[in-house]
Amino acid sequence: MILHYVGINGMNHNSLVVFQMKQPNLSLILPVHNEVDALERVVSEWDASLRKILGLHHVFIVCEDASTDGTKELIIELERRYSIVKNSVPWRRGYAQAVCDGIRLCETDYVLCIDSDGQIGPNQMNEVWDRRSEDRFLIGWRCPRLDPSIRLIYSRLFKLYHGLLFPNRLHDPSCPFVFGSTKLLKRMAPLLVYMKEGFWWGFVGACWKLKIPIEEIPIRHRARFAGRTHVYNLGQMPGIIIRNGVGLLKLRLA
């Protein structure tokens, strides 16, 4: 049993909170930007569920960037109640860099990457944890996927291009639910820099290049806890298509 003594931000330096817990063996990476209305519910739900799984001891790595809605202050409050490693920056580094920074900070045997909007819950974590392996990744398959129609159309079209470069049988290669060995994920780090908006497309491509197996697990997809799912407008799409298309091609040729 390990005693962790954690100081509380904003309190007297002599005031300490003592967490009695075992060494974490799972890190949950949460990229966060302006999620003040969803983040507490996400952390609470996952924490309560994971505590029930025998042999699993977790820590949240919250990678926040440039939030303006009170998310920064909320994370400080959550640190008092949950095991959290805060990685906060004052600029918009973007989703991909936030995930990569979280991977860099992982010190556990296993890592789970999820979004912070609540669209994927912890329902399947018993099965996921039982299937842990140091040699392959598990990726979610959202079925049905509850996203706006235009976003589904974008994904289906891009999947055709992605499949030409990285042939695979995955149904949902952009799913933000990835679980596997931290060492394996860190090994992939040099290949995870090519995709900005479509990070998980690049992750699947990197696995293909390194011949790392990926297995899908059906997961329940649901509406966001708060706010709306981001959908790029038509004016943004040409630039995004070009950047992601070139990014995948660079990854394929790397």
What pLDDT shows up at residue 154?
86
pLDDT at residue 210 above 60? yes
What pLDDT shows up at residue 230?
57
Question: In this structure, which topology does domain 19-155+176-186+209-231 adopt according to CATH?
Answer: Spore Coat Polysaccharide Biosynthesis Protein SpsA; Chain A (3.90.550)
Peptide bond just before 144 cis, omega within 30 deg:
yes
Task: Give the Cα separation of 254 and 103 in Å (integer).
Answer: 21
What pLDDT shows up at residue 12?
32
Q: Which residue has the higher pLDDT, 97 or 14?
A: 97
Percent of the chain scoring above 90 in pLDDT = 78
* Predicted TM-score (pTM) of this structure: 0.88
pLDDT at residue 161 above 50? yes
Angle at 139 between CA 234 and CA 98, to 5 degrees: 60
3-state secondary structure at position 60: strand
3-state secondary structure at position 138: strand
Angle at 225 between CA 200 and CA 204, to 5 degrees: 10
Task: Give the Cα separation of 56 and 27 in Å (integer).
Answer: 10
Tokens found for residue 4: 């962790």
Domain map of the chain by residue range?
Answer: 19-155+176-186+209-231
pLDDT digits 0-9 by tens, 33-71: 999 999 999 999 999 999 999 999 999 999 999 999 999
Tokens found for residue 194: 């090519």
* Residue position matching structure tokens 């976003």: 151
Contact 43, 29 (CB under 8 A): no
pLDDT digits 0-9 by tens, 94-128: 999 999 999 999 999 999 999 999 999 999 999 99
3-state secondary structure at position 130: helix
pLDDT digits 0-9 by tens, 184-202: 999 999 999 999 888 999 9
